[in-house]
Structure 1
Amino acid sequence: MSKENEQPAAENPETLHKLTVTEPKKWAAGIPGVTAALKDIFEETGVARGAGALFTMNQKGGFDCSSCAWPDPDDDRSTLAEYCENGAKALAEEATTKKLTAEFFAQNSVADLARLDDMDIGKKGRIAQPVYLPKGGTHYQPITWQDAFHKIGDKLNSLASPNEAAFYTSGRTSNEASFVYQLFVREYGTNNLPDCSNMCHESSGVALGETIGIGKGTVTLNDFYDTDVIIIMGQNPGTNHPRMLTALEKAKQKGSKIIAINPLHEAGLMAFKNPQSVKGVLGFSTQLADLYLQVKINGDMALIKAIEKLLYDAEIQEPGKVFDTGFIEKSTVGYDEFVEKIKYFDVEALCAAAGVPVEQVRQAADMLKHKSRIIICWAMGITQHKNGVDTIKEILNLVLLKGSIGKAGAGLCPVRGHSNVQGNRTMLIFDKPTKKQLNKLKEVFGFEPPREHGYDVVDSIKAMHEDKLKVFFAMGGNFLSATPDTAFTAEAMRKLEMSVHVSTKLNRSHLVHGHEAIILPTLSRSDRDVVNGEDQFISCENSMGVVQSSKGILEPISKELLNETQIVCELAKATLAGRTVIDWDKYANSYDAIRDVIGQVVPGFENYNQRVRLPGGFYLPNGPREGKFETEKFKDKAPFSITELPAHEMADDEYMMTTIRSHDQFNTTIYGLQDRYRGIHNERRVIFMNPKDIAKAGFTQGDKVDLFNYYDGIERVARLFVIVPYDIPERNTATYYPEGNVLVPINSVAEKSNCPTSKLVFIKIRKHEG
């Protein structure tokens, strides 16, 4: 087989760079963060283009960062830098002046491109025109927009059922595009709408939806400045949500205490050098965590239960002074059954299961004992476990005991990853829509939407394998690299008759494809979006339920780009011609028209066009924020939940592995090979291990090893990783994502949410052969 006809690699090449390891940092940001941010932006965009965009990003009337979903301040925003290092790197990626033309694709076969690592693939530049890979082809070739739409439409119309197609959405997609996207998919006839939330905060949505009646957080940014204790669990804000550090610093200045809970000591949880303050520029840092509880992987539930038991014991000693009995009586159900369980908790056994010394847990309980203004934050370290839903319910149990919800400075804060992933779900991107939502679509648009539930991400991959899915359409994202069980997913995607990706840049999902493949290039957040000669704006929803406008300012790198809404509307016309009841041209030409109809369909968006034009946007309704709870089972009451402690059995030669991000990446986008906070330079194929485990297994620092998982009796292998000693609990290890995803079993998912368990994989480690 010639090189050009080789099957593309499913993952990054199994090759190493020249790794160097330095001492991990004990603080985040500072001048090095500013230097790294500016270096990337100016290299990719030039000074004038880059500086203009930086000073507009996250400003009122500017464009929303395409990176994380941390909210912007409601009031004044920094004119110097309302962005973080990784936000600037994300902007550099999308605002680059490098572009991929027909000549590039003619010179580079799919197989050749697949031999590059993810970083090199991404840094090639913006895709400048639609391209098509015919069946048996080796190179993408130019295709006109109309030909592309007709090919996709013809393929969709040739399927035996609309359920043989799935339509994926990434968190970058705007509210307006998300709404017309789901509208097209449902008029086409399926609820196969997997989205990136299925792989991250689905556990949060399920747990909170069942208990407080809304699958979102309950706090605002201002609550962080009016609280007594902030608990941060399973989250590394210094890398994944760096602007959160500014909020934490402000909270500390106002007297708040911070408890950090994480298996690794992360720089961004320990201290912060604010580059926007004189103190930070001079090298002085603000200590963040007052108490750092280094749990074992998935030891969080045991830890929370231990804290609850200590608080219960204190409540017995001081009745009514530790638990908020008034709130419990008025606003909760199931308290008696819950405390009956607490009575028999064994604190020492729970602390051992958590991996945290009893005295440290007592410190945490003492910090909470007489406080009620408590905010608990979490991210993937909580959600991506088999018991992720129950752990979040246990977090809520603690909040309910303390009455720490529905008041200023208190509540729940699931910190979303991608910038509009929460907005996608609000815009009805969901494989399990409610009857009420579907009835509203029927009432407003006049067609009968499909009623049966569709495929989520994991089910979509399985359906591809079983030949139940023939077409996969992705609105943004890098599906292959984001999903679990990489080799399994790649094999599934190669079975597709057609794969289509709406993208700004090249990624590995374009290189592991169906029999036919199409890439449709689109505008980025920072690009000017001009329709009928007028500059347009879109809107997004952040982690705290604020909807605000986003208006790009940069000239697009190509005149052959369409915005996402235009792409969806043109595809709808090509697919549904003659049978659609929707005026797609109206929506293609007017975001205002889309927002008007969203206001008719989605609660909380009344007068959308007027409110989104307000400086800073508007808050969506949030009952629990006001102490109002309404679920399918209970009205005006939040239930306590009875959960079971997870049990983990490992063979003597097995370890727990969690996947993490480096500081030089966002989701699947790799900006560089430096993870300076953890002291890793010029490499990503590393495994962090406890020094005692390294010695006990007969390894040494720098050994090359292969990693194995045997879930369901199937051998999964990640080859050629380098051992790095690190401060991590014994029998716990960590690897970077997506390199470690090949070890995450497709069938290992969170109960109820079906979220892949990327934060806990059981592995064996052997010396690399070769």
Structure 2
Amino acid sequence: MAAGGWQSLKAVARYTLEEGNAALITRALLQQNKTDGFACVSCAWAKPAEPRVAEFCENGAKATAWELTSRRLSPEFFDTHPVSELRGWSDHDLEAGGRLTAPMRYDRATDRYVEVTWDEAIADIAARLRALRAEDPKSAVFYASGRASLETSYAWQLFARVYGNNNLPDSSNMCHESTSVALPESIGVPIGTVHLEDFGQADCLLFVGQNPGVNSPRMLHLIKEARDRGVPIISFNPLRESGLVRFVDPQSPMQMLTPASTTVSTQYLQVKVGGDLAAMTGVAKALLTSAVAGGQGLDREFIAQHTHGFDAFAAWAMQQPWEDIERESGLARAALERVAAVLGGAKAVIAVYGMGLTQHRLGVKNVQMLCNLLLMGGHMGRPGAGICPVRGHSNVQGQRTVGITEKPELAPLDQLAAQYVFKPPRDKGLDTVGACQGVLDGSVRAMLNLGGNLLRSVPDNTRLEPAWSRLALTVHVATKLNHTHLVPGETSYLLPCIGRIEIDRQAGREQRVSMEDSTGFIHASQGVAEPADERFRSELAIVSALAEATVGDAAQVPWAGWREDYARVRAAIATTYPKIFHDFETRFVLPGGFPKPNAARERDWKTPTGKANFIVPGALVADPDAPGHPPQTLRLMTMRSDDQFNTTIYSLDDRFRDVSGTRNVLFMNEADIARHGLQAGQRIDVRTAADDGVVREVRGLTVRAYDIPEGCVAGYYPECNPLVPLWHHAEGSHVPAYKSVPILVQPENAIP
């Protein structure tokens, strides 16, 4: 099945009708990702200065319909549904219930959420936070999901630091933290170097561990344009994914009215799960071998002038035996040499990657190895070339830009101290894995959640939930109900907020917010629909009210003024980060927004060596936990369906993989099914192959034969998260290694 086409249009129409408010949703879609409209609440893919008439994809349309639904979860709903009952509902059914409408507090005596006033909620939360702060300010965690605006994110990080800690974990800790660690060491910046216009100048696209058909479908338009120019596209992915095979452009009359389609990948290499390092090493070795023989592959002038460490890297790559490379990658030498031949002849290569690279034990090395390949050909800081990490949540990259980080060295603490007259904490805070460990050992007492569904997102969640319920305070700023809300701490609040698509009025004026996309451009976003309920407050209003009530006298922060006029927050951001946000108010409303400074695009390398660095990976296996286990051990990768965005499940179907009505599926190679004495359609139980004394299992999955390398299996995220140990994370970045988990499978109920 091709990505896009009539099936995509049918899906958009179905969701628009099912959610009600069809006319409202349709009008909103025409303003999605437009200069005078709102930034998509789904993925962070770039917003063009000259948008198409329909500048949204199927997933973005679903996200808009999901937020503008006519369904409501009123206080009366909670009167009839105790939390213990709701905990048994699926992720899909919980969010499908509709928008939360009123602030709620959990009543342990009745096991129900009950309505409270905003004043009661703010006052009680603030009082409890002040009491915890007096005991230990490091016991509270300020988690951010990645959707909040730059204005709200800036206020959130300041709230945490005035409170007394740098405990600012976010969703980037679970996806692209490996990027944030790897790229500064390689090229001196923590973000990608590619802008949208580069795709029109590239003569080769390389996709590694990124499936645009599911994760960032608007990118498929750029891919189609590249293929129309004859640009080769090389894809490395364990599963044969529709979005990397064929695309039918819903905005092309020719393709919609004829059997025509775009062939996406000119070379498709089904690398073994965890075999990316070996595969990229094979390509590098082939490029080096060709160069020695006088062929193409190396930009020697660029390497000499702009890089450091090439000789050590080249020696290491040449020493790796082809038999080891083939075994670990699952790919033939000839296939990798064909990739090298295309890369070697290209003048401008863009390398696109996602969590298929970052969510491994050696995820940082994966990213740096991809940088090595680009540096070999000089494909960095050149028009039409560079590295392009594709972010997930719509403003997760922007949150980092304005200070959401647990690492004090990455925040302008001296500037914040002078600007707001307080002493920011200087010790390292908790990232997401550290926060989870703190919940388990009891050192974390309060979890404040700016969006998200953290308990479903994190590894080891079945082990984490009992400890979470012992927290003194849990607070959730949210639009819809999710599973994390149903594991309340001793005191727990739900605070319903205005969605980004809704009009945000403060002091009688409509407010704009700002967002940063995957390519580092800052855009304005303005709501276009009336709020679903008059009781809603904006995220910034909630955060500033909580901060004012909790730490209002601890720093000179104009919390109340910020609530009234978001331009005042942007002015404060520009004062804190003048190099990035100068003339903020005039630039962010321009078509296409404005770009952050990016030294690597100018071949200005902000590294200790003053050059771009080749980094020796030192290993061929991206997940060293996997080898050494019994022969029956399989490598599990978790993934998303086409009807899903992160933990939001729009339906139980996955049409690209021909699955309907369930997510309890394990995709297996036919040879592995036979080797384990199983049959397609059989129900099985899965257990993690780890010797740490903890039993981790998921029961009742159905075997599905699929085109995936032998020894590798795939299952859905977050359903398979209980199989991922909390300690199974990337070295250097702590990103959970969701993409290569050693597991064992047994027929259902065979595990005692």
Give the TM-score band, short-chain normalised: over 0.9
Deviation at 1:714, TM superposition (A): 1.4
Distance in structure 2 (CA, Å) of the matches to 1:106 and 1:311: 66
C-alpha distance 354-435 of structure 1, shift in aligned 2 (>3 A)? closer
2:263 to 270, 280, 287: 287
Distance in structure 2 (CA, Å) of the matches to 1:324 and 1:273: 36
User: What residue number does 1:548 align with?
Assistant: 523
User: What residue number does 1:442 align with?
Assistant: 417
Deviation at 1:244, TM superposition (A): 1.0
Task: Please tell me whether the aligned partners of residues 162 and 188 of structure 1 are also in contact (alpha carbons under 8 angstroms).
Answer: yes
Distance in structure 1 (CA, Å) of the matches to 2:143 and 2:553: 25
1:97 partner SS: coil
Task: Please tell me whether the aligned partners of residues 441 and 601 of structure 1 are also in contact (alpha carbons under 8 angstroms).
Answer: yes
CA displacement 1:682-724 (0-9 Å, x = unmatched): 1100000011111121111111111101422311010110000
Deviation at 1:742, TM superposition (A): 0.6
Distance in structure 2 (CA, Å) of the matches to 1:436 and 1:82: 34
1:429 partner SS: coil
Task: Please tell me whether the aligned partners of residues 109 and 139 of structure 1 are also in contact (alpha carbons under 8 angstroms).
Answer: yes
User: What residue number does 2:125 align with?
Assistant: 152
Deviation at 1:135, TM superposition (A): 4.2
User: What residue number does 1:9 align with?
Assistant: none
Distance in structure 1 (CA, Å) of the matches to 2:164 and 2:104: 27
Deviation at 1:636, TM superposition (A): 4.1
1:681 partner SS: coil
Runs of at least 5 residues in structure 1 that lack an aligned partner in the other structure: 1-24
Deviation at 1:532, TM superposition (A): 1.4
Distance in structure 1 (CA, Å) of the matches to 2:151 and 2:679: 53
1:764 partner SS: strand
2:440 to 465, 490, 504: 465
> Counterpart amino acid of 1:559?
E
C-alpha distance 63-45 of structure 1, shift in aligned 2 (>3 A)? farther
Deviation at 1:348, TM superposition (A): 3.5
> Counterpart amino acid of 1:371?
A
User: What residue number does 1:224 align with?
Assistant: 199
User: What residue number does 1:14 align with?
Assistant: none
2:722 to 737, 742, 755: 742
1:562 partner SS: coil
1:193 to 165, 168, 180: 168
Distance in structure 2 (CA, Å) of the matches to 1:435 and 1:426: 9
Distance in structure 1 (CA, Å) of the matches to 2:162 and 2:108: 29
Task: Please tell me whether the aligned partners of residues 452 and 478 of structure 2 are also in contact (alpha carbons under 8 angstroms).
Answer: yes
User: What residue number does 1:338 align with?
Assistant: 313
Higher deviation after alignment, 656-665 or 362-371: 362-371
> Counterpart amino acid of 1:665?
Q
Between the two proteins, the alignment pairs up a number of residues equal to 741
1:549 partner SS: strand
Deviation at 1:619, TM superposition (A): 0.8
Normalised TM-score (structure 1): 0.95
2:383 partner SS: coil
2:327 to 338, 342, 352: 352
1:575 partner SS: helix
User: What residue number does 2:704 align with?
Assistant: 724
User: What residue number does 2:687 align with?
Assistant: 708
User: What residue number does 1:488 align with?
Assistant: 463
> Counterpart amino acid of 1:37?
V
Deviation at 1:764, TM superposition (A): 0.8
User: What residue number does 1:6 align with?
Assistant: none
CA displacement 1:29-67 (0-9 Å, x = unmatched): 101101101210232132211111111111111001010
> Counterpart amino acid of 1:440?
Q
Distance in structure 1 (CA, Å) of the matches to 2:370 and 2:289: 18
C-alpha distance 579-307 of structure 1, shift in aligned 2 (>3 A)? closer
Task: Please tell me whether the aligned partners of residues 462 and 492 of structure 1 are also in contact (alpha carbons under 8 angstroms).
Answer: no
Distance in structure 2 (CA, Å) of the matches to 1:86 and 1:462: 33
- Whether 2:498 is the aligned partner of 1:523: answer yes
User: What residue number does 2:293 align with?
Assistant: 317
User: What residue number does 1:765 align with?
Assistant: 745
1:85 to 44, 58, 61: 58
- Whether 2:576 is the aligned partner of 1:601: answer yes
Distance in structure 2 (CA, Å) of the matches to 1:295 and 1:136: 54
1:617 to 583, 593, 598: 593
1:167 partner SS: strand
User: What residue number does 1:117 align with?
Assistant: 90
> Counterpart amino acid of 2:610?
K
Root-mean-square deviation (Å)? 1.3
> Counterpart amino acid of 2:268?
Y
Distance in structure 2 (CA, Å) of the matches to 1:434 and 1:579: 22
C-alpha distance 587-410 of structure 1, shift in aligned 2 (>3 A)? same
Normalised TM-score (structure 2): 0.97
User: What residue number does 1:31 align with?
Assistant: 6
2:351 partner SS: strand
1:762 partner SS: strand
Distance in structure 2 (CA, Å) of the matches to 1:560 and 1:591: 20
Written as runs of structure 1 = structure 2, the 5 A alignment for 1:21-420 is 25=1, 27-74=2-49, 76-79=50-53, 81-159=54-132, 160-282=135-257, 283-318=259-294, 321-420=296-395
> Counterpart amino acid of 1:310?
A
User: What residue number does 1:13 align with?
Assistant: none
Written as runs of structure 1 = structure 2, the 5 A alignment for 1:534-573 is 534-573=509-548
Runs of at least 5 residues in structure 2 that lack an aligned partner in the other structure: none
C-alpha distance 223-435 of structure 1, shift in aligned 2 (>3 A)? closer
Deviation at 1:637, TM superposition (A): 4.0
Task: Please tell me whether the aligned partners of residues 332 and 640 of structure 1 are also in contact (alpha carbons under 8 angstroms).
Answer: no
Distance in structure 1 (CA, Å) of the matches to 2:585 and 2:280: 43
Task: Please tell me whether the aligned partners of residues 42 and 50 of structure 1 are also in contact (alpha carbons under 8 angstroms).
Answer: no
Distance in structure 1 (CA, Å) of the matches to 2:106 and 2:175: 31
Task: Please tell me whether the aligned partners of residues 106 and 488 of structure 2 are also in contact (alpha carbons under 8 angstroms).
Answer: no
Deviation at 1:639, TM superposition (A): 4.2
User: What residue number does 1:16 align with?
Assistant: none
1:681 to 654, 657, 660: 660
CA displacement 1:617-668 (0-9 Å, x = unmatched): 111101111111112x222443443432224233122111010101110000
> Counterpart amino acid of 1:77?
P
CA displacement 1:547-604 (0-9 Å, x = unmatched): 0001011111111111111111100111024333211111111110000010111231
Deviation at 1:223, TM superposition (A): 0.8
Distance in structure 1 (CA, Å) of the matches to 2:152 and 2:603: 33
2:533 partner SS: coil
C-alpha distance 436-536 of structure 1, shift in aligned 2 (>3 A)? closer
Deviation at 1:279, TM superposition (A): 2.2
Task: Please tell me whether the aligned partners of residues 38 and 88 of structure 1 are also in contact (alpha carbons under 8 angstroms).
Answer: no
Task: Please tell me whether the aligned partners of residues 206 and 350 of structure 2 are also in contact (alpha carbons under 8 angstroms).
Answer: yes
1:644 to 616, 619, 623: 619
Higher deviation after alignment, 725-734 or 609-618: 609-618
Distance in structure 2 (CA, Å) of the matches to 1:435 and 1:95: 37
1:580 to 539, 543, 555: 555
1:349 partner SS: helix
Distance in structure 2 (CA, Å) of the matches to 1:168 and 1:551: 24
Distance in structure 1 (CA, Å) of the matches to 2:632 and 2:78: 47
Deviation at 1:258, TM superposition (A): 0.3
Distance in structure 1 (CA, Å) of the matches to 2:435 and 2:554: 27
CA displacement 1:69-112 (0-9 Å, x = unmatched): 111223x2111x11011111111111111111111111111011
Distance in structure 2 (CA, Å) of the matches to 1:747 and 1:322: 39
Task: Please tell me whether the aligned partners of residues 271 and 287 of structure 1 are also in contact (alpha carbons under 8 angstroms).
Answer: yes
Deviation at 1:137, TM superposition (A): 4.4
2:319 partner SS: coil
Distance in structure 1 (CA, Å) of the matches to 2:467 and 2:153: 26
Deviation at 1:329, TM superposition (A): 0.9
> Counterpart amino acid of 2:631?
D
> Counterpart amino acid of 1:252?
R
CA displacement 1:715-750 (0-9 Å, x = unmatched): 101011000000111111000011000101011110
